[in-house]
């Protein structure tokens, strides 16, 4: 019998890789005891990453959700772990050091045992402070290597980073193969290299199943000394998610490893409950393509979980690109042709910007550069014409050191725009802010909460927290859910025009002042940042800009104040004069 292998259930990431939202606290309370009954999991991923942000987005207190989920697992002796973005903590952009430090105290008090700390650039300067903060709070810091496949991401490269993280106090290393493109042979060699120097360090492997290599990778890392394997369960296993624990157990058992048994009665109940949660509301926000595997992911290196948002973004600009091509006498792209063009553009851009591992937020940055390059190409403009400040921050070094060299043409573009590259510690750009948030909470009359968890949530996700407290988040979510249900009904042949007409009867349109191409502000999290449903807009607010066929820029401003109840035009859409872009309820 070979060594013992333990399993971790990625219940958070199963949903994160499949759609927009996570289960509610009441649903987590129902699934936790069944996970315990399965008897095969030493660990469960309960929170972290976007978990708490998306709970706020549909109007639920994430702190209560975390406590609800971790409690029964703790009582059963199962360790809980969270996803931690290092410098970015739980969000998409950098976080002040005092807020990062508070996070570990809060999460430990809420029942989270282990924090999986990663930096999308594998910059140890962004990980080592979190190792220190986590240990101070009594948590187990699991330092992470973001795995990708490129000329610079070698066994030696990763082993050197692991050495530094272990020296800084990390008792565990996670190989985070977020796109599933890590090659099995290389991953096995990496585990062997780390274990030969640090035999007592625990190694956990996290591999997405998108391009189809993850089962071979799991066997390779176990053969070379890995201790824990991340898995999923139906109906959210495979596809762009993770291999199912049943298959992983069978493979490793046949290879002679000591693996836990699975209570199949409990597995089937967990499977049924998870499907129930999907049918309740989560499934309305899941892209069907995330249930499919694709070898195309090997070429572009993008995480499978991004496919849903990427396809939505692609559809948002497809009409604009094809209209521009038609105007030049060129054939329009089919959706498949444009997808291949996007994959090719990602593969072209990636080395030019220094091979950042394609994980949040750098996967979004890279995808956005490629997508906007396709759009600007159709407009007759050069590459890199539409890069926002967050993307430039990565290129200039404000997020950390890029693994590779930035291409000369981008260096020259930066200098022509007066931008400066930096090697300073990324944290130095983001000073402490907790005192500011304490004062704002006092002014609002809000309590800092048990173990200061409300203060932490406010400081981490200010905008989303304010929307949660005001009730706007819940209104927006309910509107989004109703829209998703209407679309599902329409696909089944039901007429929802009457419902739409009733909604419009209570609202007034914000219309296009001229015909042309519509541009909302481009954001990190997607290519469209139209005013969210439920958002209050005021008379005079700038909503969008329309680029007319003759090259002028027409501003779209709100002529009255009110709440957005519907968004009718997508980013980069061609609109006609007088066409409704939004409906606003006064």
Average pLDDT, the chain: 90
State yes or no: pLDDT of 541 exceeds 80.
Answer: yes
Q: Could you tell me which residues are beta bridge partners of residue 546?
A: 518, 554
d(C-alpha 486, C-alpha 327), whole Å? 35
- The model's pTM is 0.82
Q: Residue 71 in contact with residue 36, Cβ under 8 Å?
A: no
pLDDT of res. 525: 40
Q: Which of 361, 391, 265, 290 is nearest to 53 (CA)?
A: 361
| Domains parsed from the chain with CATH numbers | 6-290 (3.20.20.70), 496-585 (2.40.50.100)
Measure the CA angle with vertex 364, ends 359 and 365; round to 5°.
105
pLDDT tens track for 458-490: 999 999 999 999 988 888 888 888 888 888 877
**Residue 221, token pair as written in the block:** 């890392």
Note the Cα 294 to chain centre separation in Å: 19
Burial 495-523, CB ≥16 within 10 A → b, else e: eeeeeeeebbeebbebbbebebbbbbebe
* Residues in Cβ contact with 448 at an 8 Å cutoff, skipping those fewer than 6 apart: 438, 441, 454, 455
pLDDT tens track for 189-236: 999 999 999 999 999 999 999 999 999 999 999 999 999 999 999 999
Helical H runs in 112-243?
124-137, 155-167, 184-197, 214-223
Q: Which of 174, 104, 234 is nearest to 359 (CA)?
A: 174
Sheet holding 580-585, edge to edge: 508-511, 580-585, 562-567, 536-537
Q: Residue 51 in contact with residue 22, Cβ under 8 Å?
A: yes
pLDDT tens track for 231-255: 999 999 999 999 999 999 999 999 9
pLDDT tens track for 72-120: 999 999 999 999 999 999 998 899 999 999 999 999 999 999 999 999 8
pLDDT tens track for 136-185: 999 999 999 999 999 999 999 999 999 999 999 999 999 999 999 999 99
d(C-alpha 425, C-alpha 127), whole Å? 12
CA quadruple 471, 472, 475, 476: dihedral positive or negative? negative
Q: Which of 84, 103, 93, 95 is nearest to 431 (CA)?
A: 95
Q: Is the backbone peptide bond immediately before 361 cis, with ω within 30 degrees of 0?
A: yes
* Residues in Cβ contact with 39 at an 8 Å cutoff, skipping those fewer than 6 apart: 260, 261, 262, 263, 266
d(C-alpha 526, C-alpha 513), whole Å? 25
* Residues in Cβ contact with 366 at an 8 Å cutoff, skipping those fewer than 6 apart: 302, 346, 349, 350, 353, 356, 358
């Amino acid at each position: 019998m070979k060594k013992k292998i333990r399993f971790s259930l990625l219940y958070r990431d199963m949903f994160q890789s499949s759609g927009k939202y996570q289960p509610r606290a009441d649903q987590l309370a129902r699934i936790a005891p069944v996970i315990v009954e399965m008897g095969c999991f030493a660990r469960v991923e309960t929170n972290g990453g976007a978990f708490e942000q998306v709970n706020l987005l549909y109007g639920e207190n994430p702190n209560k959700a975390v406590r609800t989920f971790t409690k029964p697992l703790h009582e059963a002796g199962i360790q809980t772990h969270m996803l931690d973005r290092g410098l970015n903590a739980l969000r998409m952009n950098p976080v002040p050091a005092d807020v990062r430090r508070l996070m570990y105290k809060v999460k430990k008090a809420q029942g989270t045992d282990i924090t999986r700390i990663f930096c999308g650039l594998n910059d140890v300067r962004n990980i080592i402070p979190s190792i220190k903060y986590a240990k101070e709070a009594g948590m187990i810091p699991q330092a992470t290597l973001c795995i990708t496949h490129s000329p610079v991401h070698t066994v030696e490269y990763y082993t050197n980073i692991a050495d530094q993280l272990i020296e800084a106090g990390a008792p565990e290393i996670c190989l985070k193969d977020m796109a599933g493109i890590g090659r099995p042979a290389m991953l096995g060699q990496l585990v062997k290299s780390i274990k030969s120097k640090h035999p007592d360090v625990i190694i956990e492997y996290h591999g997405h199943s998108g391009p189809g290599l993850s089962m071979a990778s799991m066997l390779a890392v176990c053969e070379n000394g890995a201790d824990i394997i991340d898995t999923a369960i139906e109906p959210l296993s495979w596809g762009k998610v993770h291999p199912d624990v049943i298959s992983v157990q069978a493979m490793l058992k046949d290879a002679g490893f000591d693996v836990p048994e699975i209570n199949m009665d409990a597995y089937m109940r967990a499977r049924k409950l998870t499907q129930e949660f999907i049918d309740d509301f989560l499934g309305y926000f899941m892209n069907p393509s995330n249930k499919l595997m694709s070898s195309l992911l090997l070429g572009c290196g993008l995480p499978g979980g991004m496919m849903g948002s990427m396809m939505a973004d692609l559809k948002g600009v497809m009409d604009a690109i094809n209209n521009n091509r038609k105007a030049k006498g060129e054939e329009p792209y089919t959706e498949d042709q444009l997808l291949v063009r996007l994959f090719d553009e990602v593969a072209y851009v990636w080395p030019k910007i220094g091979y950042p591992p394609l994980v949040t937020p750098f996967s979004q940055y890279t995808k956005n550069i490629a997508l906007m390059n396709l759009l600007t190409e159709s407009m007759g403009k050069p590459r890199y014409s539409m890069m926002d400040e967050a993307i430039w921050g990565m290129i200039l070094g404000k997020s950390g050191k890029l693994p590779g060299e930035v291409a000369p043409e981008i260096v020259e573009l930066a200098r022509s725009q007066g931008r400066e590259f930096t090697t300073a510690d990324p944290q130095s750009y983001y000073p402490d802010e907790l005192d500011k948030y304490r004062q704002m909470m006092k002014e609002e009359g809000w309590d800092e909460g048990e173990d200061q968890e409300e203060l932490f949530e406010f400081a981490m996700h200010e905008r989303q927290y304010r929307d949660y407290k005001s009730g706007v988040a819940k209104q927006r979510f309910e509107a989004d859910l109703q829209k998703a249900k209407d679309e599902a009904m329409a696909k089944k042949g039901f007429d929802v025009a009457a419902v739409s007409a009733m909604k419009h009867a209570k609202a007034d349109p914000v219309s296009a002042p001229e015909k042309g191409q519509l541009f909302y502000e481009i954001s990190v999290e997607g290519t469209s940042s139209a005013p969210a449903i439920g958002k209050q807009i005021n008379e005079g607010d700038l909503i969008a800009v329309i680029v007319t066929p003759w090259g002028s820029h027409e501003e779209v401003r709100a002529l009255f104040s009110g709440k957005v109840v519907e968004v009718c035009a997508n980013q980069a859409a061609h609109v006609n004069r007088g066409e409704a872009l939004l409906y606003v309820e006064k």
